[in-house]
Structure formats: C-alpha cells, structure tokens
Amino acid sequence: MGELQPQGQAGSEPNPPFWVTALTYGGALAAGFVLIMTGHASPAEASGYVAPFLVVYEKLSHRRWGF
C-alpha cells in the first residue's frame, strides 16, 4: 500500500495552537464530567456523546494530511 502523502504544500495550513487543542479536549472532558455527575449518562454513554466531537476536531485540524 502507498504511504499517506500531504495534500497541497507542506505547511500551508499550520496545526492549531496548543491552547486551542487544550481548550477543546478540556471542554470535552468537562462536558463528559457534567453528563455523568448530573446523572444524564453513564461513563460509557458520556464518552459516546463526547468522542464524535473530538474525532471531528482532529479531522479538521489535520485535514491537510488527508486522514
């Protein structure tokens, strides 16, 4: 199989700053915690609610690699 090649010019879209990634993951952790503590979801359900948002964030922040 072929290796993944960057799309476009290398460095044309830099990765988001560290604080944006930290805020995104921290917000996801807080949202899951609130769901669990309020009794609206079990830990497994909360991770199922929160994980898709993190997947979308990762795909958008690394879109230049074609993942």
In a domain, 22, yes or no: yes
In a domain, 61, yes or no: yes
* Full residue range of the structural domain in which residue 39 is found: 18-65
Into how many domains does the chain fold? 1
In a domain, 13, yes or no: no
Per-position pLDDT tens, the chain of length 67: 556 655 555 555 678 889 999 999 999 999 999 999 999 999 999 999 999 999 999 998 876 555 4
In a domain, 35, yes or no: yes
In a domain, 2, yes or no: no
In a domain, 3, yes or no: no
Residue 45: which of 59, 56, 57, 34 has the closest Cα?
A: 34
pTM of this prediction exceeds 0.85: no
